[in-house]
Amino acid sequence: EAGVTQFPSHSVIEKGQTVTLRCDPISGHDNLYWYRRVMGKEIKFLLHFVKESKQDESGMPNNRFLAERTGGTYSTLKVQPAELEDSGVYFCASSQDLPGQGARSPLHFGNGTRLTVT
């Protein structure tokens, strides 16, 4: 099966510009997550979609970040306007809850998008 795919792999933009990251989860996976790793720091949770609905967006840093998942398939994460501190690697992950596995459903991660804001 195809894995989680993220586009672009790299993006370099200037402060104040807008960038949109895209994530295509594994087909049939209802759960989609965005994470971010700022250079040298922890990978931090941003938000979680179940199909097209935001289940948990408590990790979104501020209102310059907007995530969508129209139709419950792919997701986009827009940063507008970008700031220097937004630089980092943005990971997307997906999973499918399986009967009886509960909390043990594995996450499948994409390769990430490296965002550099100059």
Partner 1 sequence: GDSVTQMEGPVTLSEEAFLTINCTYTATGYPSLFWYVQYPGEGLQLLLKATKADDKGSNKGFEATYRKETTSFHLEKGSVQVSDSAVYFCALKGRGSTLGRLYFGRGTQLTVWP
Contact in structure between 9 and 113 (CB atoms under 8 Å):
yes
C-beta of 61 vs 81, nearer to partner 1:
61
Count of beta carbons in the 10 Å neighbourhood of residue 103:
5
Query: Minimum CB separation from partner 1 for residue 31, in Å?
Result: 6
Stretch that binds partner 1, among 19-27, 60-68, 74-82, 107-115 (CB under 8 A): 107-115
Tokens of 1: 């099966």
Helix (H, G, I), strand (E, B) or coil at 58: coil
Rounded to 10 degrees, the C-alpha dihedral 46/47/48/54 comes to -170
Indicate which single residue of 82, 93, 115, 117 sits in contact with partner 1 (rule: CB under 8 A): 93
In Å, what is the CA distance from 15 to each residue of 7, 27, 41, 84?
A: 20, 35, 21, 6
C-beta of 18 vs 101, nearer to partner 1:
101
Residues 3-42 that bind partner 1 (CB under 8 A): 3-4, 31, 33, 35, 37, 40-42
- Positions in the binding site for partner 1 (CB under 8 A): 3-4, 31, 33, 35, 37, 40-45, 48, 55-56, 91, 93, 95, 97, 102-107, 109-112
